[in-house]
Amino acid sequence: ALYSANFSSIQAALKKLPVLN
């Protein structure tokens, strides 16, 4: 549950910063 919320925030950050892209 908590991890899912954190993952969402992390995914948003990754989308903003093309690092894994």
Residues contacting residue 16 through CB under 8 Å, at least 6 positions apart: none
Span 1-21, pLDDT tens digits? 567 878 888 888 888 877 655
Cα–Cα distance for residue pair 10/17, rounded to 1 Å: 10
Residue 21: what pLDDT?
55
pTM over the 0.85 mark? no
Both tokens of 21, joined, read 């892209």
